Amino acid sequence: MDIARTPATPDGNPEMADAATEPHKPAIIKREDYTPFGWVVPEVQIEFELGLELTRVVATLKVERNTAAERTPTIRLNGDGLTVRELQCDGETCEGYMMDGDDLVVTLPGDNHALRIVTEISPAANSQLMGLYASNGMLCTQCEAEGFRRITFFPDRPDVLSTYTVRMSGPKAQFPILLCNGNRTATGEQGENHWAEWHDPWPKPSYLFALVAGDLVARSDSFTTMNGRKVELNVWVRDGDLERTEHAMESLKRSMKWDEETFGREYDLDLFNIVAVSDFNMGAMENKGLNVFNTKYVLADPETATDGDYDGIEGVIGHEYFHNWSGNRITCRDWFQLSLKEGFTVLRDQLFSQDMGSAPVKRIEDVRVLRGVQFPEDSGPLAHPIRPDSYSEINNFYTATVYNKGAEVIRMMRTMAGEERFRAGTDLYFDRHDGEAATCEDFVKSIEDGAGLDLEQFRLWYSQAGTPKVTAKLDHSGETAKLTLKQHVPPTPGQDSKRPMPIPLKIALFDRASGTHRGEELVVLDKAEDTFAFDGFAEAPVLSINRTFSAPITIERSAPREDLVFLAAKDDDPFARYEAMQELMGGHLVAAVSGELGENERIAAQADIARAMGAVLVDESLDDLMRGELMTLPSQSYLAEQMLVADPTRIHEEREALKAFLGKELRDEFHALYDRAEKAPYSLDLASRGARKVKTLVLAFAAASDPAKAVELAAHQYDNADNMTDRQGALMVLTGIDSAERTGRLLDFYNRYEGNALVIDKWFSLQASSLHPNAIEHVKALREHPDFTLKNPNRVRSLYMAFAGTPHHFHSPDGEGYRMIADLILELDPINPQTAARFVPPLGRWRRIEPKRAAMMREQLERIAAAPKLSRDTFEQVTRSLG
């Protein structure tokens, strides 16, 4: 099929700028081509006659000419697979229209009109899970980014803001609960059918429209805002899941309170609904007043959810709630501004989670995600700025760069301004742009004016892709320490040369003898090279740099191992202490993989690492959550990023060898830690969570150094577990060791939780990501399991994304891992292209892998690219990955 979009039209749609000359090649949409839409749509009324197989949609649009746009004789209404059943203009049958591809183009002679459009759709046939679709007998919607056009013809772009009035009707027995955006204004019954009317008084773009109809039950509560508004709260789930919603409800109430106290933002409707859906492409969606969530981020109890699941629920519920202001009340002018809402809201949810739990551990977790996902994105063929310049398929730009790096860029503003002045800037942003479709520049300007900062050069962070590399060198002479910093941003696709960007770096200079420093300082590197002098040091100090990870960069320095051991033991900044441990272990592993270590050097390095790790294990000043972070070895993907060309097999071998060495060298300390942690009773407090964390880490070290002992301990932990964290941690270790205990516990786990989709997802993932040498064969067998389906994104990700995220199996020397993922992409693309496209990036890393494997990865990408009728989502990812 021809998947090229329609060329630009006079009504200002930001369509393709470069014509698609090949039938298979999608259009390129450019940020520079943005123009305002020719019409405003102040009011929308929609009537839904609901059915799983057939839903009738009657949309009435009040349209007025946009005086800020070029006058046009037509209005272009986007559609995707729709057919016009009826079309009226101002109450009369309209003949002046045409179909242009999927879009409806209507001729409108006057300045004000009412368009009535009737469409019919089949939710049950919608396997893409975009628009209105069926999920296990219920109806729900996902409209971001361009799903609304699959429901009715509409100017489906974020800068068209409308108030919505919706009437829903359908069989009461089938759809007893009818939900939509805003406040419910009326209900009634008509024979076997019933209806509900909803009105959202706040203008919103079509991507924030939501509808849910089904057989649901609710956990209900209320929240009184700081100005006295009582808000009804509901978490809607299927019958049988209600007992697992308490944590979600408490997370919502904490989010509402925190946003009032920290950002001064108050909720603005009388009702807030959350609905849990089992078939969902994303984590959750912030639709105004009706948040639709993947069940993964709603349902939890100790028997079925890990500590990580509890954290994820709290963070995602916070994220979607915070969007009420940073995304809904102020939305994006166009999709190039996606980081305006997502980057800011990710920062807000990170700060919220820091305040609700362990701030140091949360910061480390966020940096780990950035380095594990976003840094590889920045150094690969899919690199793009946090505000992209062009795209073919917007779904492909819901990336770690837009979200996570976007959050880090705003965090840097906060670091330079300080919390109080940053809050003044955000207050100004909310005041200036409430009710608008804004841009990233609007946000930066508000912070600049409100906080009193000069951010002219800082704006480069929005337009330049790539992770800056900063070289740090500390020299000492007399009583002066001089820190010389150099920055370089590597070339990325379409950006060969980069300008220096302001990089705020928190540093401290430690006195080696006392183990203390005289205070943290903030230096801003805004040149290609600069030197900072610090007086009063009779002896050379030890440098602690990029404390709290104050900038999303990589630091390159030649720190002596003794300095890293010192910082790993004595740095008072938890992140810097963690970083010293990572640098100590990572430097050794990279050198070992690269063949740069002689035997004597290996022995000395391992001894230093063991000394630092031993200090961590017995340090009584550490809580176990932080201890667990310091015990964690650098990931295989992080280590690969430190090399120009990586050999995944060698990385895995050397990492396991270090783990085995530490497990043997520190056996007594590890087991003493395990024995202490095992006594901790189950609770969700930080101490108990930390105890569970270090127990699983000790099992992992034992698995590498003494597999028989690891099997014994893990089987005991599994059998006696009273919570999912301990049970899953034990099973994770057992899945990697070929033993009778492995087989028996996997079978027990499945039988114990059969029918619980979220826990069975864990069962699939544990096997797909295990250290077992036959993991590829296990994945193939699981693909044929009766519980596996390509129609549920959670299940697909649980098996195949877990596998693709395990480098030593995905990069199997015979190329079988690459073929398996390519086969999946080709099979999944016709069913759910958005999910299929997300499996392309692991193959796209071929340039950073040793030549033999790189050739096989590229071969699979070429095979996918040659497939007929490839979706726009997958085609863009594959062609960009090939370069």
In 3D, which of 718, 744, 746 has the Cα closest to residue 730? Answer: 718
Q: What span, in angstroms and rounded, lies between the C-alpha atoms of 547 and 575?
A: 6
Cα-based angle 555, 557, 548 (whole degrees, multiple of 5):
40
In 3D, which of 468, 481, 477 has the Cα closest to residue 521? Answer: 481
Q: Is 246 a catalytic residue?
A: no
Q: Helix-strand-coil percent breakdown of the chain, rounded to 5?
A: 45, 20, 35
Q: Which residue blocks in 282-337 are alpha helix, DSSP H?
A: 307-322
**What are the backbone dihedrals phi and psi of residue 531, each rounded to the nearest 5 degrees, phi first?**
-125, 135
Hey, what are 122's tokens?
A: 């089949």
**What are the backbone dihedrals phi and psi of residue 823, each rounded to the nearest 5 degrees, phi first?**
-60, -45
Is residue 236 within 8 Å of 207, Cβ to Cβ? no
Q: Which residue blocks in 196-337 are alpha helix, DSSP H?
A: 246-263, 307-322
Hey, what are 321's tokens?
A: 């709630």
CA dihedral 211, 213, 217, 222 (to 10 degrees): 30
| 603 Cβ neighbours under 8 A, 6+ residues apart | none
Give a three-class secondary structure readout of 510-571: ECCCCCCECCCEEEEECCCEEEEEEECCCCCCEEEECHHHCCCCEEECCCCHHHHHHHHHHC
Q: Is 620 helix (H, G, I), strand (E, B) or coil?
A: coil
In 3D, which of 325, 255, 269, 332 has the Cα closest to residue 297? Answer: 255
Catalytic choice (15, 320, 448, 583): 320
Q: Is 814 helix (H, G, I), strand (E, B) or coil?
A: coil
Of the CA atoms within 13 Å of residue 207, those in its CB half-sphere come to 21
Q: What is the CA radius of gyration of the chain?
A: 28
Kindly list the strands in the beta sheet with 74-77, ordered across the sheet, starting from the edge strand earlier in the chain: 74-77, 103-107, 97-100
Q: What span, in angstroms and rounded, lies between the C-alpha atoms of 115 and 478?
A: 80
Residue 12: count of CB within 10 angstroms of its CB: 23
Q: What span, in angstroms and rounded, lies between the C-alpha atoms of 388 and 637?
A: 25
Give bridge partners of residue 480 from the DSSP assignment.
477, 535
Q: Is 808 helix (H, G, I), strand (E, B) or coil?
A: helix
| One-letter identity of residue 519 | G
In 3D, which of 208, 149, 448 has the Cα closest to residue 341? Answer: 208
**Chain centre to alpha carbon of residue 841:** 15
E-assigned strand segments in 670-713? none
Q: Is 850 helix (H, G, I), strand (E, B) or coil?
A: coil
In 3D, which of 725, 714, 805, 817 has the Cα closest to residue 762? Answer: 725
In 3D, which of 446, 449, 453, 444 has the Cα closest to residue 417? Answer: 453
* Mode of pairing for the β-strands spanning 74-77 and 284-285: unpaired
527-537 burial, b at 16+ Cβ within 10 Å, e below that, comes to: eeeeebebeeb
Kindly list the strands in the beta sheet with 554-556, ordered across the sheet, starting from the edge strand earlier in the chain: 529-535, 480-488, 469-477, 554-556
Of the CA atoms within 13 Å of residue 584, those in its CB half-sphere come to 28
Length of the chain: 883
Q: What span, in angstroms and rounded, lies between the C-alpha atoms of 596 and 246?
A: 54
- The catalytic residues are 320
